[in-house]
């Protein structure tokens, strides 16, 4: 069943003094045309508490406007140097029916190399989600979920210094405006214009 997705920016657990990592989707372009590729970066940023923040792993439950956006996969170029980064079929709560998932929700997992956690102190692009814009939409959503699946899986950011410590902070989604492809209107009008231009047959 496709998960109902709302775009929000909420800090899980409210205000806190501990170090946390915010996960955020950022579109490279807020407006794309039907048929174009829509690229959405996944970023991790530190909330500024403590003395810096590294991460050893990320498990992200996410959802998107599947009728209007088709997930093509990931682009790791310019992303963090993870050991593994993708859509696992094991322990994904049944969300990843294929790789990439295609039904509107999924689970992304990334693991840092042993002894080389990812530094999120200055903010870091983890990877880029790549979509195909399928149909027009005022706001096609790409969002993060705290939990989903059966059995339930949770969005988690794991601390790079303290083993298995949860450093999950805010989860921030986004949306993309999808407009008709250039010239699409003329394609619809052309048959009518051609009929108007034909000479009428005399009776």
Helix (H) or strand (E) holding 189: helix 184-197
186 assigned to some structural domain: no
- Could you tell me which residues come within 8 angstroms of residue 69 by beta carbon, excluding any fewer than 6 positions away? 38, 131, 132, 133, 134, 140, 142, 176, 178
Gap between the terminal Cα atoms of the chain: 60
Asked whether the predicted pLDDT for residue 139 surpasses 50, the reply is yes
Q: Is 134:29 a contact under the CB 8 Å cutoff?
A: no
Instruction: Say what the pLDDT of residue 2 is.
Output: 42
pLDDT at 170: 96
Quick one: average pLDDT of 22-30?
98
pLDDT of residue 48: 81
Kindly report the number of other CB atoms within 10 A of residue 10's CB atom.
12
Whether the per-residue pLDDT at 138 is higher than 70: the answer is yes
| Bridging pattern class, strands 54-64 and 105-111 | antiparallel
Q: Domain residues for 128?
A: 21-179
The whole-number pLDDT of residue 66 equals 96
Q: Which CATH number is 146's domain given?
A: 2.60.40.680
């Amino acid at each position: 069943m496709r998960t109902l997705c709302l775009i929000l920016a909420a800090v899980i657990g409210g205000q806190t003094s501990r170090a946390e990592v915010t996960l955020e989707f950022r579109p490279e372009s807020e407006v794309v045309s039907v048929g174009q590729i829509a690229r959405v970066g996944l970023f991790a940023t530190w909330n500024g508490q403590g003395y810096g923040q590294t991460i050893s792993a990320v498990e992200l439950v996410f959802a998107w406007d599947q009728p209007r956006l088709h997930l093509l996969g990931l682009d790791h170029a310019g992303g963090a140097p993870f050991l593994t980064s993708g859509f696992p079929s094991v322990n994904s709560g049944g969300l990843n029916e294929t790789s990439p998932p295609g039904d509107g929700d999924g689970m992304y997992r990334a693991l840092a190399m042993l002894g080389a956690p990812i530094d999120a102190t200055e903010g870091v692009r983890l990877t880029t989600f790549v979509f195909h814009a399928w149909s027009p939409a005022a706001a096609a959503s790409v969002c993060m979920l705290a939990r989903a699946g059966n059995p339930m899986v949770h969005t988690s950011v794991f601390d790079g210094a303290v083993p298995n410590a949860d450093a999950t902070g805010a989860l921030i989604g986004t949306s993309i405006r999808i407009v008709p492809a250039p010239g699409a209107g003329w394609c619809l009008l052309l048959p009518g214009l051609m009929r108007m231009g034909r000479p009428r047959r005399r009776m």
